[in-house]
A and B are shown apart, each in its own frame.
Chain A
Amino acid sequence: MQFWLIQTLNSLALGGLLFLLSSGFSLIFGLLRIPNLAHGALFMLGAYLGATVLAQDLPFWLAVLVAGLVVGLGGVVVERLLLRRLAGNEQGQVLVTLGIAFILADLCLLAWGGDPIPLAAPSGMRRPLLLFGFAFPTYRLAVLVLALIVALLLYLLMERTRLGAMIRAGVDDREMARATGIRVSYLFGCVFFLGAALAGIGGVIGGPILSAYPGLDADMLPLALIVVILGGVGSLLGALVGSFIVGFLYNFGTAFFPDFAYVVLFLPMVLALGFKPEGLFGRVRT
């Protein structure tokens, strides 16, 4: 019983982390029409930045804030300086994000070395929480709650604000949105900041569970891709549902068939592509 509860909670926490990663990926894909292949590297950069801030004995929330701001601003710089030059050349834009992913991964290795750096959980959350006679890892519960709060905030941003309405208009029909006077290129910057910042924040939040290590980017990127293929491009609900499906499959897959954890991920992707190529909640076919 304890095993199932803990594994379920671990799956939910991983799902929450994946949502932080893939919601930003999905937003960027939805508006800019490019899969940001540097997204895993941004997640890793966030984790390393968080580790550096925490090493100065600064509070955890500050690490989250710093990583979110730095990675988000980095995303804006990349969008302004590189991606904008290649407007209309989507394949070129993807290749540029791939180039950035390699450079970032290499610079992280240069700056932080090859050994994994563990991140400490916030001091109040290191003891397990005792509920109904079971011990729960407090931090993982907190990750889940935080991911749900972020999901709610993103929902409110997209559905209840003027900026969100403009982004939705840009996702549905970029040319028409431009014609009605929306500055779509300004939205590109906003969305890139938001998506990159979410990846950076996700890296810090995931740090105490995954720790920061070289290769974290290559581990996270395919998970984000599968979440988006499964849930549908540009759909927040799809990213949420897809994240939890992948979280459960990956976690239980690793627990039961450690050799085949990746094959277990392969199956939902095959099913989604076979029966619903646009993803569970996607409106456009990728």
Chain B
Amino acid sequence: MLGWAVLAIALAVLPLLLPGTFYIGIATHVLVYALLALSLNILIGYGGMTSLGHAVYLGVPAYACAWLMLHAGLSALPAAIGAVAIGTLTAGAFGVLALRATGLGFLMITLALGQIVWGVAYRWVALTGGDNGLRLPSRPHPFGIDLAEPTPFYWFVAAVFFVVLICLRHLARSPFGACLRGTRDQPRRMRMLGHNVWAIRWAAFVLSGFWGSVAGLMYVYDNGFVSPQTLALPQSAEALLMVVLGGAGTLAGPVVGAIIITLVKTVASSYVERWYSLLGAIFIIVVIFMPEGLVPGTHRIWRRITRPRLAERRAA
């Protein structure tokens, strides 16, 4: 309980400590990507299903929200609900297809589906505006609060982030979370115990798509704009890298991964144009040297440092 209070206060006072709106903007980006990484972590960390098509749930609701507000003339709230619903329904349909396979087949299908959605966004100019993308008319005004300025918008995203974090912690500790980890580690035993392994995995896929859609909604509010780039493979790969870098299957891991990747990207892109080389290199380094991720990895190194001392003390 104390930890959560500290986190809430830290999130709330952060913009007051940052030197300018530029940095508050970066903090908002970090939170949006942390939401995306947290949603992908449901699949990868708890479900053991590596998806390379998670950009779909960032891009589809973002497009849906912009389209509903621009062309269907909806106001912010119905557009937001519609966008999340469309994103979640997409996850429901794609989950049925991707779960025809497990392991690497699952990865290939999610990748192919992601590329198809990207191709549609790129080519179906009448709906998506093609390469130019869609522009969001304006950020919402929940309860009459104007979110156009960076600081109020940061607080809005931070509040959403905090709520999602609490929900995901409950999810991880719920009986459903236990079942999902069971299907990851021992699918046969779970089947023998009478659980419907396929249904548990599909539900996890839909949940992941739902929370991913929430991230997608925040994404389009944050950027005010969505283009096929949002749906492209590098976006899915970045999300996967955030989870793997921070540590899959932990709550803090994806957040740490999102902070590091977003900061590296922001800093690197102002110095070098070769961000993708750096992304690829981080991928290879993480996989070879810290396959379990930073959060569990640091924990392991910390224990290795502290344990010998314990042993010495015992010997003395």
- Chain B residues with CB under 8 A of A86: 287-288
Question: Are B115's CB and A222's CB within 8 A?
Answer: yes
Given A90-B103, A98-B237, A102-B280, the answer on whether A229 and B123 have CB atoms closer than 8 Å is: no
- Smallest CB–CB gap between B142 and chain A, Å? 36
Report the bound CA distance from A18 to B126 in whole Å.
29
* Number of inter-chain CB pairs below 8 Å: 128
Do B100 and A277 have beta carbons less than 8 Å apart? yes
Q: How large is the interface on A (under 10, 10 to 19, 20 to 34, 35 or more residues)?
A: 35 or more
Question: CB-nearest residue of chain B relative to A40?
Answer: B233
Taking the closest CB of chain B, its distance from the CB of A226, in whole angstroms, is 6
Contact A103/B104 with A95-B244, A96-B283, A226-B112 known, Cβ cut-off 8 Å: no
* Bound Cα distance A114, B103 (Å): 36
- Cβ of A85 and Cβ of B104 under 8 Å apart? no
Across the interface, do B280 and A106 meet the contact criterion of CB distance under 8 Å? yes
User: A136 to chain B: closest CB distance in Å?
Assistant: 28
- Are B116 and A222 neighbours in the complex by a CB distance under 8 Å? yes
Task: Tell whether, in the assembled complex, residue A106 and residue B274 are in contact, meaning their CB atoms are under 8 Å apart.
Answer: yes
CB distance from A56 to the nearest CB of B (A): 27
Contact of A262 among B109, B119, B279 (CB under 8 A): B119
Stretch in A62-70, A154-162, A181-189, A263-271 with 4+ CB within 8 Å of B:
A263-271
Question: In the assembly, what is the distance between CA of A96 and CA of B285, in Å?
Answer: 9
Q: A218-B115, A222-B116, A273-B100 are in contact. Are A259 and B107 (CB under 8 A)?
A: no
Taking the nearest CB of chain B, how far is it from the CB of A35, in angstroms? 5
Q: A210 contacts the other chain (Cβ, under 8 Å)?
A: no
Q: Is the interface of A mostly helix, strand, loop or mixed?
A: helix
Contact A98 B100 (CB under 8 A): no
| A153 contacts the other chain (CB 8 A) | no
What's the Cα separation between A105 and B283 when bound, in Å? 15
Tell me the nearest residue of chain B to A107, going by C-beta.
Answer: B277
A225 touches B100 (CB 8 A): no
Q: In angstroms, how far is the closest chain A Cβ from the Cβ of B78?
A: 27
Verify A260–B123 contact, CB threshold 8 A.
yes
Partner of B284 from the list A82, A107, A221 (CB cut-off 8 Å) is: A82
**Would you list which residues of chain B between 101 and 117 have a CB under 8 Å from chain A?**
101, 103-105, 107-109, 111-113, 115-116
Determine the chain A residues whose CB is within 8 A of the CB of B52 once the complex forms. 37, 98
* A258 CB–B CB distance under 8 Å: yes
B residues near A, CB below 8 A?
50, 52, 97, 100-101, 103-105, 107-109, 111-113, 115-116, 119-120, 123-126, 232-234, 237, 240, 244, 274, 276-277, 279-284, 286-288, 291
Interface residues of A (CB under 8 A from B): 33-35, 37, 82, 85-86, 89-92, 94-96, 98-103, 105-107, 110, 218, 221-222, 225-226, 228-229, 233, 258-263, 265-266, 269-270, 273-274, 277, 285-286
